[in-house]
């Protein structure tokens, strides 16, 4: 079963990538988790203390 990183499923359904408005997919990482854009940009947004940080400046960009 896919992780939600402790985030509300309803929240995950409504939030989108601020860069390209693509869907975000929660992924567990060594530091907790991040929301990876499934749209055109592929940015990954950190989840800190259970709060998704949907800021392009804070996103991890794909190589």
- Site residues for Zn ion per CB under 5 A: 17, 19-20, 22, 37, 39, 41
Cβ proximity to Zn ion: between 1 and 5 the closer is 5
Cβ 19 to Zn ion shortest distance, Å: 4
Smallest gap from residue 59 Cβ to Zn ion (A): 8
Distances (CA, A) of 8 to 13, 27, 42, 54, 57: 9, 14, 22, 15, 24
Give the gyration radius of the chain's Cα atoms: 10
- Rounded to a whole number, what is the distance in angstroms from the first to the last CA of the chain? 28
Q: How far is the CB of 41 from Zn ion (least distance, A)?
A: 3
Q: Which is nearer to Zn ion, 1 or 59 (CB)?
A: 59
């Amino acid at each position: 079963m896919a992780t939600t990183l402790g985030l509300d499923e309803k929240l995950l359904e409504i939030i989108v990538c601020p860069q390209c408005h693509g869907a975000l997919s929660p992924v567990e990482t060594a530091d907790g988790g991040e929301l990876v854009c499934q749209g055109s940009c592929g940015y990954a947004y950190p989840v800190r203390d259970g709060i998704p940080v949907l800021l392009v400046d804070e996103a991890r960009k794909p190589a």
